[in-house]
Amino acid sequence: MVGREFGNGVRAIIGRTGLTQRRLAELLGWQEAKISDLLAGKGGVTELEVATLLAYCRATVAERDYLLALFRESGNVWLQMPEDGVPDQVRTLIEQEKEANEIICWSMVLVPGLLQIPEYVHVVTSAAPVDAEDVPTVVAARVARAQILEPGRTFTFYIHEQALWLPVGGDEVWREQLCHLLRLSVRRYVSIRIIPRSIGMHAGTSGDFRVMKFPKYPPVVYVESVKCCLFFDDKETVDVYENILKALAAVALDEEESRAVINSILEASDDHLAQEHL
């Protein structure tokens, strides 16, 4: 994960020069394969060599410091502490979502972010530790993420039933959010499966997460909290989360049964509103 972020950053800087990888390698006295491995995040270069390449390509001081910091990262866990305290607005997550060809989400408390309508997003963002003046910008960025819900990739959302009962934004927003889930659920590349409250304890109680899979890279697990977010791409950790997904799949309702649950909640809200007007 860190290697890919590093490789993407270096690739962008090389791209500004207009040089091909072959020509740049010749100018630096390297084998072309060395640059290819560097851009793929495979290593094979020293920190001094990275600094030399960045200097030759006229990277800014900020770019150099950031990329060298990534280069020095060790291990398979990358901790980001975004200044605005909104982990899922980190540029890295947005980029990873765009590159993924399969995304699998587990959400226990709220409707997953990619499925939220703008009004729901606004209420959730306003309740988060975000400065009031930043809310419109953050909401716009969150809403824009839903643009990836298009054919060409697949999405699976495991949602606990209790998340559907939470009346975020009041009855009108809550009901429209449920209707939006029903509309999305009929798309062939979107699978929405509900974990019913009746099963009690389950494998997902440790918290929300998502697994993103890519055509050319290992899967990445993303976990967020209020002030930070974590990306894991080591096989051991990914296997743990994929096993949780398998356990959730074993107890989740199928797509048709899940639509029935959403409809039943809508009907219950109808009854509640009718009682209030009596």
The token pair that represents 177 in the structure block: 């959010």
Rounded CA-CA distance 96/153 in Å is: 13
Percent of the chain with pLDDT over 90: 40
Last residue of a domain, one of 74, 95, 119: 74
E strands within the chain?
Answer: 77-80, 102-107, 154-160, 190-195, 209-213, 220-224, 229-232
Into how many domains does the chain fold? 2
Q: What is the CATH number of the domain that holds 39?
A: 1.10.260.40
Tens-place pLDDT, residues 226-260: 666 778 888 888 999 999 999 999 999 999 999 99
Instruction: Say if residue 83 is in the same domain as residue 203.
Output: yes
The token pair that represents 232 in the structure block: 């894991």
Q: Which domain holds residue 144?
A: 78-276
Query: What does the pLDDT read at residue 239?
Result: 93
Last residue of a domain, one of 55, 74, 93: 74
Last residue of a domain, one of 51, 74, 97: 74
> Per-residue confidence at 161, pLDDT binned at 50, 70, 90?
very high
Rounded CA-CA distance 108/157 in Å is: 11
Tens-place pLDDT, residues 87-135: 444 567 777 888 899 999 999 999 999 999 999 999 988 887 777 887 8
Query: Got the DSSP string for 265-276?
Result: HHHHHHHHHHHH
Assign 3-state DSSP to the chain and report helix, strand, coil percentages, each to 5.
60, 15, 30
pTM of model > 0.85: no
Strands 209-213 vs 190-195: parallel, antiparallel or unpaired: unpaired
Q: What is the CATH number of the domain that holds 140?
A: 3.30.870.10
More confident residue, 207 or 261: 261
